[in-house]
């Protein structure tokens, strides 16, 4: 999904529920084998499902922004980025990026192809 702002074009990624749903499906056999492990995976799956429904990742010309509804949670200026990577490209589940002073790991709760396209366009990876 794309939204236009007054001065530039911003891209808001669509949510992806694949990871939370996969965890919830995994819960069923785990509950039969190990109740505690199944319960932990179920809670994680439900947590990620709520996060996918409420969080939005937006790419502007200068920042990647994380918002909950209409509230901006955090901005990540591209100028501070040193590297990024999407783990397990066949089944993307984790997005990593490193800034000058911090490292971030995010579960893939957004369209992975659109995420990669936005990252390559706005913050090309270093080898």
Per-residue pLDDT tens for 6-39? 446 899 999 999 999 999 999 999 999 999 999 9
Q: What is the DSSP string of 68-91?
A: ETTEEEEEEEGGGEEEEEEE-TTS
How far is 108 from 17, CA to CA, in rounded Å? 9
Per-residue pLDDT reduced to its tens digit, 96-111: 999 999 999 999 999 9
Which pTM value belongs to this model?
A: 0.82
Select from 11, 102, 105, 98 the least CA-distant residue to 61. 11
Q: In what helix (H) or strand (E) does residue 105 lie, and over which residues does it extend?
A: strand 103-107
Which residues are 15's β-sheet partners?
110
Per-residue pLDDT reduced to its tens digit, 40-79: 999 999 999 999 999 999 999 999 999 998 899 999 999 9
How far is 117 from 88, CA to CA, in rounded Å? 16
Which residues are 105's β-sheet partners?
96
Select from 11, 2, 16 the least CA-distant residue to 111. 16
How far is 41 from 58, CA to CA, in rounded Å? 28
């Amino acid at each position: 999904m794309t939204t236009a702002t007054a001065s530039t074009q911003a891209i808001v990624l669509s949510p992806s529920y694949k990871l939370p749903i996969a965890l919830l499906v995994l819960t069923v056999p785990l509950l039969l084998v190990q109740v505690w492990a199944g319960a932990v995976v179920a809670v994680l799956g439900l947590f990620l499902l709520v996060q996918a429904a409420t969080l939005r990742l937006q790419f502007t010309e200068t920042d990647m922004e994380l918002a909950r509804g209409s509230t901006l949670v955090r901005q990540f200026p591209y100028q501070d980025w040193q590297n990024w990577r999407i783990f397990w490209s066949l089944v993307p589940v984790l997005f990593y990026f490193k800034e000058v002073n911090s490292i971030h790991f995010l579960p893939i709760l957004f369209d992975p192809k659109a995420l990669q396209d936005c990252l390559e366009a706005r913050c090309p990876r270093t080898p």
